[in-house]
Structure 1
Amino acid sequence: MKLESSAFSANGLIPSEYTCDGKNISPPLTWTEVPTGTQSLALIVDDPDAPRGTFVHWVVYNLPATLTELPAHVTTETDLSGGLQGKNDFRSLGYGGPCPPSGTHRYFFKLYALDQPLRLPAGASKAQVLATAEGHILASTELIGRYHRRS
């Protein structure tokens, strides 16, 4: 699979519009080469460079296998064709943009192709999604973006 964004290139800088310094909206994402047999997709966005360990910015799961993109500015009201959003480490549902306390951080956008939908309610955590997905991941890919707050 291949995951891309028209907002930033792989290992490129995430524009401030998609961070806490801007509109704090989710960036547009597109993907291709989803394997045959995929029944659902899951997306997890996290920051492994956070001071207290990996910080989760977005959890989305049960996206239909036929979906090939997420537009910019996905909110908790956005129709994801059955897809659900989980809880991030800001303790809210949906997307929470990059907001590093210092330095340049990496943000991993990880997409998983699964052989079944996950039996989880809305609001599941990253840990719950990954535990439930274990043994059902057909393929995965990632897109890394970076962000550094201006002082």
Structure 2
Amino acid sequence: MTLSGVPDGTVQLDIRMKDQNAPNFLHGGGKVAYEGQKSLPYGAFRYKGPCPPSGKHKYRFTVKALDGNGKILGTAKADRMFP
């Protein structure tokens, strides 16, 4: 995952993935320490990739930038259809 535009003061990224067509299916995510890196390596957080039971589904990645107290400094979202 490539990172850009991360707000100043960010120390942690909270990353989530959600199937917009099956919102009760948990795909996971996690919190990752942020120290100014420009990308996150594979395995930095855990999630189950897109796996629609039938047809196309819309998936949303949400990343929240958190300060040292857990305050949200910014939020980014990206939607993609699969397959």
TM range (shorter): 0.7 to 0.9
1:70 deviates by: 2.1
Match of 1:112 in 2: 64
Return closer, same or farther for 1:107/1:101 CA change in 2, 3 Å cut-off.
Answer: same
Structure 1 residues 144 and 65, CA gap change in structure 2 (3 angstroms): farther
Which residue does 1:38 correspond to in 2? 10
1:69 pairs with one of 39, 43, 49: 39
Q: 1:65 to 1:55 in 2, by over 3 A?
A: farther
- Alpha-carbon RMSD across the aligned residues, in angstroms, is 1.9
Tell me the amino acid that sits aligned with residue 35 of structure 1: P
Opposite residue 79 of structure 2, the aligned amino acid is I
Deviating beyond 3 angstroms after TM superposition, the runs of 4 or more aligned structure 1 residues are: none
- How many percent identity over aligned positions? 34
- Shift in Å, 1:56: 2.5
Render the CA deviation track for 1:46-70: whole Å, top value 9, x for unaligned: 11211xx342223120322412212
Unaligned stretches of 5+ residues in structure 2: none
Aligned to 2:81: 146
Are 1:103 and 2:16 an aligned pair? Answer: no
Could you state the TM-score of these two structures normalised by the residue count of structure 1?
0.48
Q: Which has the larger radius of gyration?
A: 1
Greater fraction of residues in helix: 1
- Give secondary structure in 1 for the equivalent of 2:79: strand
Q: 2:72 aligns with which of 133, 137, 147?
A: 137
What is the alpha-carbon distance in structure 2 between the residues aligned to residue 45 and residue 65 of structure 1? 22
- Equivalence map 1:84-95=2 (5 Å): 85=45, 94-95=46-47
CA distance in structure 1 between the partners assigned to 2:12 and 2:35 by the alignment: 5
Kindly report which structure 2 residues correspond to 1:16-31, keeping only aligned pairs within 5 A, or say none.
29-31=1-3
Q: Which runs of 5+ in 1 are unaligned?
A: 1-28, 86-93, 118-132
- Tell which has more relative contact order, 1 or 2 (C-alpha 8 A, sep 6+): 2
